[in-house]
């Protein structure tokens, strides 16, 4: 079974400094049909104005992955971590028993565009931790590259959940297929460009939810960046 959700069906909030599209219920946006998909709880497609950002705020018992598409995002947290992440970087913060952090766009000229992803952990009360890894375009070109997983396989960042996140870049004749085990489901998010997934034409912001499917097949991309979540 495959369910399509178009980009304009998502929740939307424009705060001036922040333009955000919500794939799942978040803050003032609530849709009982889209609260979560398996352990996938949040995909916020955020554009942050130059010099603006999220002040220090708390999180607990959530796996938070930041995926930068354009610009820069400066991170600071109560664990003592501080860094500026750029396109190609995948940042993972396990909030566990509690952590405070801030995220700002350090540029005075350019907006920052990133995906904020929350995954429900498989257990509560873990010790908070932080990890950041860079995956170059050459690692994702024409393939689905594992960037986050429950076991840190293939250099991916490690999350506390039986979930695997893949990222791929597709243009022209490039294609890839990700087999799905019978007890798995998949969520596909198109971060940019256009592409066909399992024969369905998709544009930036569109999503597919797949259950009882043998595979996720990606082809026919036009400057496409695709995220695939393999979920229990």
Q: What pLDDT is recorded for position 65?
A: 98
Q: Which residues contact 7 (CB under 8 A, 6 or more apart)?
A: 21, 190, 203, 204, 205, 206
Q: Concatenated DSSP letters for 84-132?
A: EE-TTEEEEEE-TT-EEEEEE---SSS-EEEEEEEE--SSS-PPPEEEE
CATH number at residue 128: 2.60.120.10
SS3 assignment for 183-210: CCEEEEEEEEEEEEECCEEEECCCEEEE
Beta carbons of 66 and 85 less than 8 angstroms apart: yes
Domain span including residue 66: 2-231
Q: What is the pLDDT of residues 142-183, one digit of tens each?
A: 999 999 999 999 999 999 999 999 999 999 999 999 999 999
Q: How many domains does the chain have?
A: 1
Residues with pLDDT less than 70, the chain: none
Give the three-state DSSP class for 162.
coil
Q: What is the pLDDT of residues 197-222, one digit of tens each?
A: 999 999 999 999 999 999 999 999 99
**Distance between CA 42 and CA 34 in Å, rounded?**
10
């Amino acid at each position: 079974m495959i369910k399509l959700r178009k980009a304009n069906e998502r929740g939307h909030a424009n705060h001036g400094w922040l333009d955000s599209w919500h794939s799942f219920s978040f803050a003032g946006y609530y849709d009982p049909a889209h609260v979560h998909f398996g352990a996938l709880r949040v995909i916020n497609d955020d554009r942050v104005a130059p010099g603006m950002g999220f002040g220090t705020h708390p999180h607990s018992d959530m796996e938070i992955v930041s995926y930068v598409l354009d610009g820069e995002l400066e991170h600071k947290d109560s664990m003592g971590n501080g860094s500026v992440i750029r396109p190609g970087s995948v940042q993972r913060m396990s909030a566990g028993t509690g952590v405070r952090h801030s995220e700002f766009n350090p540029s005075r000229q350019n907006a920052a565009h990133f995906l904020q992803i929350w995954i429900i952990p498989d257990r509560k009360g873990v010790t908070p931790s932080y990890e950041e890894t860079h995956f170059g375009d050459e690692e994702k070109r024409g393939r689905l590259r594992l960037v986050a997983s429950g076991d840190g396989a293939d250099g991916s960042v490690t999350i506390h959940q039986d979930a695997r996140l893949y990222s791929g870049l597709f243009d022209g004749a490039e294609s890839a297929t990700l087999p799905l085990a019978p007890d798995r489901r998949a969520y596909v998010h198109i971060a940019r460009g256009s592409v066909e997934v399992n024969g369905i034409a998709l544009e930036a912001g569109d999503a597919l939810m797949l259950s009882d499917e043998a595979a996720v097949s990606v082809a026919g991309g036009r400057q496409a960046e695709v995220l695939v979540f393999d979920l229990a």
